[in-house]
């Protein structure tokens, strides 16, 4: 009985906190004047976007176990799911002109294509990996900057990759909006992470794989597979030549951007006069 009480208590507190956070985001540009509008825009782009994302996705999963152990984790999950369902319903009720009748909806279309329960179950499966994307984001903020300082990997304006804007798309409400915003954020995190990994691979390991199928599969995300990496049957002398050709032979203390070969200086801040939104 005590466990059930703790679970419900954590769930209710989580639900309340998340709905309150959603209310703040909705009201901020409407009642905060120009200041509120500016803050609302800032919260739609990294680095400030990291705050609401953390609040809604992983903060309950951290606080819940601290408060009540595994029962708290279960309560946090219940509260999060309840928040998504509740917010979706409230948002659709507030936007009936886009959600009711025979209005076109992503959710209804996909329900017809694959079946209602399959579509909804699959969406919740994708939600399970949210903490993993959040950890990738933490690495982008805390770890990658160390590589930039230590070995000169290029820095990036994170807000140009990680932002959300689908809330401005007409007719995207409730269920459709919440999942599209998730994809909006997730795609930016993954794309920036891939960009950073391209720098890492080309800087440290510019050697093609012996497995031809792997080379073919990886060249989409790592274009330098066919853009300058040494053949798998090459020599270490070839590798040294590539590194010196691509990055120069200057001493390690010289500051330069050691970007991946195919697209150096892509959305970087190197050479810019300010580090305002960079990591």
DSSP characters over the chain: -HHHHHHHHHHHHHHHHHHHHHHHHHHHHHHSHHHHHHHHHHTTBTTTTHHHHHHHHTHHHHHHHHHHHHHHHHHHHHHHHHHHHHHHHHHHHHTHHHHSTT---HHHHHHHHH-HHHHHHHHHHHHTTHHHHHHHHHHHHHTHHHHHHHH-PPPBBGGGTSB--GGGSTT--HHHHHHHHHHHHHHHHHHHHHHHHHHHHHHH--B--S-HHHHHHHTTT-GGGTTTPBPTT--HHHHHHHHHHHH-S--TTS------TTSTTTTB-TT-S--TTB-
| 151-161 residue pLDDT tens | 989 899 999 99
Cis amide linkage into residue 76, ω under 30° from 0: no
Same domain, 2 and 133: no
Same domain, 126 and 215: yes
| Confidence band for 101, pLDDT divided at 50, 70 and 90 | confident
Same domain, 273 and 229: yes
Percent of the chain with pLDDT over 70: 91
Q: Which two tokens stand for residue 90?
A: 């409230």
Domain finish residue from 94, 118, 151:
94
| 129-139 residue pLDDT tens | 999 999 999 99
Domain finish residue from 66, 94, 122:
94
What is the pLDDT at residue 264?
A: 57
Most confident of 45-49, 95-99, 249-253: 45-49
| 31-72 residue pLDDT tens | 878 999 999 999 999 999 999 999 999 999 999 999 999 999
Domain count, the chain: 2
Same domain, 216 and 259: yes
Same domain, 250 and 181: yes
| Confidence band for 273, pLDDT divided at 50, 70 and 90 | very low
What is the pLDDT at residue 278?
A: 47
274: pLDDT strictly greater than 80: no
165: pLDDT strictly greater than 70: yes
Same domain, 233 and 159: yes
What is the pLDDT at residue 275?
A: 38
Distance, C-alpha 238 to centroid of its chain: 37
Same domain, 109 and 23: no
Mean pLDDT of 163-168: 95
Q: Please, what is the Cα angle at 135 between 271 and 7, to 5 degrees?
A: 145
Query: Which has the higher per-residue pLDDT, 27 or 33?
Result: 27
User: Which of 136, 133, 131, 20 is CA-nearest to residue 73?
Assistant: 131
Percent of the chain with pLDDT over 90: 79
What is the pLDDT at residue 261?
A: 85
Same domain, 147 and 71: no
What is the pLDDT at residue 20?
A: 98
Same domain, 46 and 146: no
| Confidence band for 13, pLDDT divided at 50, 70 and 90 | very high
218: pLDDT strictly greater than 80: yes
How many whole angstroms separate alpha carbon 80 and alpha carbon 83? 5
What is the pLDDT at residue 272?
A: 46
What is the pLDDT at residue 128?
A: 95
Domain finish residue from 63, 94, 125:
94
Q: Domain range spanning residue 69?
A: 1-94
């Amino acid at each position: 009985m005590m466990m059930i009480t703790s679970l419900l208590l954590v769930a209710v507190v989580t639900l309340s906190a998340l709905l309150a956070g959603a209310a703040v985001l909705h009201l901020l540009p409407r009642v905060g004047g120009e200041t509120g509008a500016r803050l609302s825009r800032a919260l739609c782009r990294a680095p400030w976007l990291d705050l609401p994302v953390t609040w809604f996705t992983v903060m309950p999963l951290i606080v819940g176990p601290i408060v009540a152990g595994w029962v708290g984790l279960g309560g946090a999950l219940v509260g999060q799911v309840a928040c998504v369902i509740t917010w979706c319903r409230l948002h659709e009720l507030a936007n009936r002109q886009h959600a009711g009748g025979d209005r076109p909806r992503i959710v209804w279309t996909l329900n017809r294509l694959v079946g209602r329960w399959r579509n909804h179950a699959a969406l919740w499966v994708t939600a399970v990996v949210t903490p993993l994307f959040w950890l990738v984001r933490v690495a982008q903020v805390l770890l990658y900057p160390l590589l930039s300082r230590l070995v000169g990997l290029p820095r990036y304006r994170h807000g140009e990759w990680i932002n959300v804007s689908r809330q401005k798309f007409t007719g995207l409400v409730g269920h459709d909006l919440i999942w599209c915003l998730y994809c909006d954020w997730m795609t930016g995190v993954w794309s920036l992470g891939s960009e950073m990994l391209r720098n890492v691979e080309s800087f440290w390991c510019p050697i093609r794989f012996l497995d031809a199928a792997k080379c073919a599969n990886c060249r989409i995300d790592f274009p330098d597979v066919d853009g300058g990496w040494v053949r798998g049957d090459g020599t270490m002398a070839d590798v040294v030549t590539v590194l010196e050709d691509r990055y120069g032979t200057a001493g390690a203390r010289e500051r330069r951007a050691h970007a991946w070969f195919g697209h150096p200086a892509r959305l970087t801040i190197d050479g810019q006069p300010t580090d305002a939104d960079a990591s």
